[in-house]
A and B are shown apart, each in its own frame.
Chain A
Amino acid sequence: MLEPWIFIALLLGAGMLLPGVTIVANWLLAPKKPNPIKQSIYECGIETVGETYIQLKGGYYIYALIFVVFDIEAVFMFPWAVAFDKLQLYMVMEGVIFILILAAGLAYAWRKGVLEWV
């Protein structure tokens, strides 16, 4: 059953192999002279202060939730787009209605100020 996907699997394997080879090669070839500064965790810029786990604020949650809703919409749009040429007019309209209903939700969220980042 997986035959059509064999190329994707090969591509995936090749994609993992290339960085893998360079990393392993680096590890094998590089000279090893550790010192405390070298071994400290790399941070671009200032060193972190305090806990690295922080409590996010509530705004993220509603963002994520709206993201989930529109992610599902995108998933439904995909078969619609692919089968577009085989659908009759009213079926195309169904897809439009689907988008409009969720657009109403977006308008609601917008007007309620959910999209503002305070």
Chain B
Amino acid sequence: MDWQDFLSVLPFIIVAGWATILLLVDLWIPANRKGITAGLAVLGLIAAIAAVISRFGIEREAFDGMIIVDGFSSFLQLLFLGVGVIAIAQAYDYLRRRDIERGEYYILLLYSLSGMLLMASAGDLIVVFLAVELLSIPLYVLAAFAIPKADSEESALKYFLLGAFASGFLVYGIALVFGSTGTTALSGMVAAIESAETTPILLLVGSGMILVGLGFKVAAVPFHMWTPDVYQGAPTSVTSFMAVGAKAGGFAALLRIFISALPGAAVMWMPLTMWIAALTMAWGNIAAISQTNIKRMLAYSSIAHAGYIFMALPAAATPEVAPEAVRAALFYLVTYAITNLGAWGVVLAMEKAEGSGLEIEDYSGLGKKRPALALAMALFMLSLTGIPPTVGFMGKFYLFQVVIDANLIWLALVGVVTSLISAYYYLRVIVVMYMRDGEPEVRSEALLNSTIFITAFGTFFFGILPGFLLKMINQVSLLDLFR
């Protein structure tokens, strides 16, 4: 153990430590000037981004394999930190508008982010479990941030109960995998499975339970029931962060555990993940059609997108395709993050102080009243559908290609067909914005507008020139450390 080890977890130390310092500093910041807390939180995130960039390209194990630093973790950490900056910018005005501004919002958000950072570089199942908890517990509280509003309370309670239930599955699964392989270290598990010193039945049941636990976190069918209610009830700025961050965090763990540590058990999880992916894509998109509330619609849309990313897992069961599958999943996570943050930003702009303005009908006439905002929303909807020239198209294209490479043609077909179905409800938003008359009441807040602009630009830019992103992702290797 040396200084290198501590440098390996530096981004995590910065974010978690800064949150703790900020917790104390915030006590002396007057209630009407919580913008200072938000600004300080962003400063901490920028320092963490610098820390991640400074060690980009380094691959090593730290703390006896508890922490893994590689391209996969660095890339995801950058994504999480970027999401964090945008989430704080989106929350600032929204919290004041709804009169729920408190310094703890930004602090809890930092803690949740620290959990995600830890998740990206977890090299041991115990760290995975702690990271899941550290990611989730602040989110439960954030969902309840609009207390005593009943829908926020309902959202938090549902999220908490089902989240705790899922954690139970996860930890029991970890215990069984430990019982089978005799180790919780991911690298040790590969060796144990290869040397056949395992008890297969425990390994199968254990990894199945881990799949269930993390399936809850990423809202995959059939573990998605909580999603629409939680996303609808939570304050919208929290939903935006939750929908992007928590999902990406869950997938970080899924990809790391199943593809790098449990390739030996692929016979078991390959068919399971395949069916989960197909069901999630189908059900998410079909259920979204009948939604009239934009938050619920986007919630089902996020379920559907979890299904698309899930396709990377069965594809990765074919060893030759595995590295590409991981890259495609990462690329898709980026497209999902950019597009969704943008779409939720528009929802934030449309939401009125008392919480109305969330029906899709409320968007009528937006095209005339605020052409730029409507254009951005149209771009996000096209990207979610997967229509060029947006980044969503590139993401789906890459992912479907990998799935076909892995000879799962029927799964790719399910993906294409469900994407076509999804066009119906995504394009309906565009139709309502441009074809219907109405007088929508829209906010124009500088920070929120800039996040919408940045994400819209990203959606368009990476849609035409994905080269930069692809180049970065091509350096990502999830598997090298264990081979």
Contact = CB atoms under 8 A, between A and B. Distances in A.
Contact between A and B in the complex (any CB pair below 8 Å): yes
Contacts of B23: 104, 108
Interface in B22-49: 23-24, 27
A65 interface: no
A111 B27 contact: yes
B9 to A, nearest CB: 13
Interface string B1-27: 100000000000000000010011001
Contacts of B1: 90
Contacts of A101: 20
Ranked nearest first, the 3 interchain pairs of A and B with the lowest CB-CB distance are A111-B27, A104-B20, A108-B23
12 contacts: A90-B1, A101-B20, A104-B20, A104-B23, A104-B24, A107-B24, A107-B27, A108-B23, A108-B24, A108-B27, A111-B27, A112-B27
Interface of A: 90, 101, 104, 107-108, 111-112
Given A90-B1, A107-B27, A108-B24, 6 more contacts: A101-B20, A104-B23, A104-B24, A107-B24, A111-B27, A112-B27
Interface of B: 1, 20, 23-24, 27
B388 to A, nearest CB: 49
Nearest to B16: A101
Contacts of A107: 24, 27
Contacts of A90: 1
A107 B28 CA distance: 12
A104 B23 CA distance: 8
A8 B23 CA distance: 45
Contacts of B24: 104, 107-108
Nearest to A101: B20
Nearest to B20: A104
B74 to A, nearest CB: 25
A77 B123 CA distance: 26
A107 B26 CA distance: 12
B12 to A, nearest CB: 13
B431 to A, nearest CB: 49
A95 B20 CA distance: 17
Contacts of A111: 27
Contacts of B27: 107-108, 111-112
Nearest to B19: A104
A90 B23 CA distance: 25
Contacts of A112: 27
Contacts of A104: 20, 23-24
A97 to B, nearest CB: 9
A101 B18 CA distance: 11
B174 to A, nearest CB: 20
Nearest to A112: B27
A101 B1 CA distance: 22
A55 B17 CA distance: 39
A116 to B, nearest CB: 15
A111 B20 CA distance: 15
A90 B2 CA distance: 10
A101 B17 CA distance: 9
A111 to B, nearest CB: 5
